[in-house]
Amino acid sequence: MNRMIINITEDLSMASNIQELLNQEFKTVGNWMQEGILEDLQIKEAENGIVMTLNTIDETKAKELLASYPLYKYFKKVEFKV
């Protein structure tokens, strides 16, 4: 199975409604896991970000999904690895 690893660095310091955004994030992550899109999500403490592993998805589709992610506008850097 093809997997895509997405390494995301984010800056949440400007998020005034962080608790609401995190609640939305948990819902989105749960939906993606239930649909079989998201295999794994890890929080990076040192760099303020996350690492996602997506199943059988190309970079174009991954970018579309990320654009719908509740914390997307706080992403500083996104790296895709197949």
Question: Residue 8 phi/psi, 5° resolution?
Answer: -120, 130
Q: Is the pLDDT of residue 1 over 70?
A: no
pLDDT tens column, 13-52: 888 899 999 999 999 999 999 999 999 999 998 778 999 9
pLDDT per position as a tens digit, 37-48: 999 999 998 778
What domain range is 56 assigned to? 3-81
Query: Which CATH number goes with the domain that contains 31?
Result: 3.30.70.1060
b (16+ CB within 10 A) / e for 13-40 = eebeeeeebeeebeebbeebeeeebbbe
How many separate domains does the chain show? 1
